[in-house]
Amino acid sequence: MSKEIKLPTFRLDGKTAIVTGATKGIGYAIAATFAAYGANVVITSRTPADCARCAAELTGAGGSCIGIAANSARKEEIDTVIAAAEERFGRVDILVNNAGISGETAPLLKQTEENFDKVIAVNLKGVFLFAQAAAGKMAADGQGGRIINIASVGGLIGGKGVAPYGASKAGVISLTKTMANEWARYGITVNAVCPGYVVTELNREFFADPAFKEKMERRTAVRRLGTVEEVAGPVLALASDCFSYMTGTTLLLDGGQTIGG
């Protein structure tokens, strides 16, 4: 006699997701994917016009979308986003901490304190503040939630010239594990995603150089660069019920870069 199996689904119907840094690149792809799978999406970035434009573009794709400008390193602005999400959609179910900056490229002996502080404030402190605010609401709501932190392969390897960026992303990976450990009791799962070489608006001009592009591709096992869609898909899975038993994990999306290419 066969047992009834509850089939998993990637659908996010009725869920409310906040995606930071969602007006371009990986963040936009994640927001668009969430909307297509039925979620109500709150789009954030620092620029009000970009937030409004992206919300208009994605509204009607599945769920509803709103755009709220915010600096992820400022608690008062984060609180405004959380409040807007609750006012419009009633609750917060999913948070994707995607907002980040690369900072200035320089060897360690020439890195400035100003650049280090700026990168850490956005890439690490911002993740802490946004996750803390969202998890507090999820815990109070009593229905759990999903938090996905976008880290980087740079947090696993010691890339030259990008010490503040690598340190910030390594911190995100560690912070993810602590969040997962402390918030599991509230039904909140927390995972990190580490993209490798993915073409976005921020790095497109670098990869436009054929020699540089070929050099980067040779560092991967699949011998090509990644796409934003190849990050958005796994993030969707982590946000869905399909991955409800996964927490505290770091998911590599690097085309085999960290296995030696």
Locate 118 and state its tokens.
């700026």
Pick from 257, 196, 193: nearest CA to 226: 196
Annotated catalytic sites, by residue?
165
- Tabulate helix, strand, coil % of the chain (nearest 5): 50, 15, 35
State the CB neighbour count (10 A cutoff) for residue 121.
17
Q: Are 23 and 49 in contact (CB under 8 A)?
A: no
User: Cα(248)–Cα(240) distance, rounded to whole angstroms?
Assistant: 16
Pick from 66, 61, 14, 68: nearest CA to 35: 61
User: Cα(119)–Cα(111) distance, rounded to whole angstroms?
Assistant: 12
State the CB neighbour count (10 A cutoff) for residue 68.
21
Q: 111 CB contacts (<8 Å, ≥6 apart)?
A: 104, 163, 164
User: Cα(34)–Cα(240) distance, rounded to whole angstroms?
Assistant: 10
Q: 16 CB contacts (<8 Å, ≥6 apart)?
A: 39, 40, 41, 42, 85, 89, 90, 91, 92, 93, 94
